[in-house]
Amino acid sequence: MKAAELFVRCLENEGVQYIFGVPGEENIDIMDALLDSTMQFITTRHEQGAAFMADVYGRLTGRAGVCLSTLGPGATNLITGVADANMDRAPMVAIAGQGATTRLHKESHQILDLVTLFAPITKYATPIREAAVIPEIVRKAFKVAQTEKPGSCFIDFPENIAAMPIAGKVPLGVQAPYTPAPADVKVDQAVPLQRHLPIKHFISIGYSAFVSSILTVFIAVTHYISIS
């Protein structure tokens, strides 16, 4: 199979249902692989729209939204939505096609250093330079995007790598992201301090509550119970 097919299988393995984006020459192998996939590709009029759709999908579900673009200006159009997802802690994985690695070293049509461009606005940005590492890169991107604090990740996928044959590789096992909790000793230290606060009641809710059932339960309980 082609590396692009392995890449698509890795996305399926992560539970991806929708990919928002714009097709192009440099991501054509991914588009071909999607024809035999369980995922639905949703074509947008502009890459920025695709990024914001993935952003909102991540906010509403807690699972990484996925957007896809081609190289150069197609990828730069993703930037606003990717940055917004990262700043507002919405899990997202952005993927951009790239020119062949044989022309990345020179001035060539629409070739940009996309990894350097996306690095400041993502939690993790990386190129794929060997087909064999695709399962590791996809697994890491989704793990990092969905682990506290959630945010966006970026994968640069050159067209010649996507077209390479690859055998003997399968997606890595998916583990649920670990939700961090304070150490017991820190909780024991905080309780006496809160008892002496000037306000009567003190409640602290983290951002994760907004993308989980925790906030729903909290509202349901406190709405009907008088806290004194």
CB of 44 within 8 A of CB of 22?
yes
pLDDT, averaged per 10 consecutive residues of the chain (228 residues), comes to: 96 96 93 95 96 96 95 95 96 95 82 94 96 96 93 96 93 78 74 66 58 60 52
* 3-state secondary structure labels for all residues of the chain: CEHHHHHHHHHHHCCCCEEEECCCHHHHHHHHHHCCCCCEEEECCCHHHHHHHHHHHHHHHCCCEEEEECCCHHHHCCHHHHHHHHHCCCCEEEEEEECCHHHCCCCCCCCCCHHHHHHHHCCEEEECCCHHHHHHHHHHHHHHHHCCCCCEEEEEEEHHHHCCECCCCCCCCCCCCCCCCCCHHHHHHHHHHHHCCCCCCCCCCCHHHHHCCHHHHHHHHHHHCCCC
Flag whether 197 is in a domain.
yes
Q: Are residues 129 and 191 in the same domain?
A: no
Residue 175 lies in a domain: no
- One domain, residues 209 and 110: no
**176 found inside a domain:** no
ω into residue 2 within 30 of 0, thus cis? no
Residue 141 counted as domain residue:
yes
Q: Does one domain contain both 53 and 84?
A: yes
Residues 38 and 115 placed together within one structural domain of the fold: yes
Question: How far apart, in whole angstroms, are the C-alpha atoms of residue 72 and residue 109?
Answer: 8
Per-residue confidence (pLDDT) for residue 110, from 0 to 100: 78
Same domain (yes/no): 40, 149: yes
Is 11 a domain residue? yes
Range of the domain at 193: 184-224
Question: Is the pTM above the cut of 0.95?
Answer: no
Q: What angle separates helix 3-13 from helix 134-146, to the nearest 10 degrees? A: 30
- Output the pLDDT for position 102: 87
Residues 119 and 152 in one domain: yes
Q: Are residues 63 and 115 in the same domain?
A: yes
Specify whether 8 is located in the same domain as 102: yes
Question: How many domains does the chain contain in total?
Answer: 2
At 202 the pLDDT is: 54
Do 217 and 155 sit in the same domain of this protein?
no
Inside any domain, residue 178: no
Whether 75 maps to a domain, the answer reads yes
Same domain, 39 and 150: yes
Residue 70 falls inside a structural domain: yes
CATH at residue 154: 3.40.50.970
Claim to verify: residue 81 and residue 158 sit in the same structural domain: yes
Check whether residue 155 and residue 188 sit in a common domain: no
Within 10 angstroms of residue 100's Cβ, the number of other Cβ atoms is 15
pLDDT confidence of residue 130: 94
